[in-house]
Amino acid sequence: MSVFLVGGGHRDDVEDALYGGFIAEAVARAGDERPARIAVLTVTERATADAGDAFAAIVRRVANDSPVDVAQIVVAEGERMPAAALDDADGILVGGGLTPAYLTALKPLAARLRLAVESGVPYLGFSAGAAIAPDRALIGGWRIGDVEVAQEDAAEDLDEVTVEDGLGLIDVTVDAHAVQWGNLTRAIAAVDSGAVGEVIALDESTVLAVGSGPLRAGGAGTVWVVTRDERGVLVRGMR
């Protein structure tokens, strides 16, 4: 199984690098007898039927000649994702938007998602979908106490930097849009404050694949790994 984490952003020239591994695993799981069923889960302010169209189109483009059946499931912010959304899925793609709303929608399905991934179903989280994947999810905020640690525009409608129980698919906290939105400083502050022990902060158009082997980074940007030891907070980049 693999969990693919994408830091947001839309660049046609890196679609294969970002989504190819996920789709290949889903197609392999389905086998030769049927198309791979890929569930595209989206949470939006208004649950319009076309909200997941962009991701569905990416899946079909990257799949190319590989047979895929894309199931788009959309709910409005504040609603829960139906349990049937995961039925018979060979791959699960969770899109981007308001991170707290995605956690509200998907947290009731956390146990089923963990079982699916453990059984070999690949998961791809894009932006919010990446942020909610860990055991402890950094879901937003721009201040710690009275100290500004990020841009207010990237706060996800939260004031205080907020960490909650996530889906439990990986054990390292994740932030997205690291350089583009200035969220790398939030990741550093979260580790420095002790809110979390480690953060992986993903640039846009960048993917980190977490599976049974070594971590694999790809795409256009950098995966920033933020840790702490006796010297203080340490930041290193993976490409």
Q: pTM value? A: 0.96
pLDDT tens digits for range 159-216: 999 999 999 999 999 999 999 999 999 999 999 999 999 999 999 999 999 997 889 9
Would the CA dihedral through 3, 134, 94, 115 be positive or negative?
Answer: positive
Q: Which CATH number fits domain 2-238: 3.30.200.20, 3.40.50.880, 3.30.1180.20, 3.40.190.290?
A: 3.40.50.880
Q: In whole angstroms, what is the distance from residue 236 CA to residue 239 CA?
A: 10
Tell me, what's the pLDDT at 39? 98
Q: In whole angstroms, what is the distance from residue 58 CA to residue 54 CA?
A: 6
Distances (CA, A) of 189 to 23, 118, 141, 193, 196: 35, 32, 11, 6, 10
Q: In whole angstroms, what is the distance from residue 191 CA to residue 170 CA?
A: 17
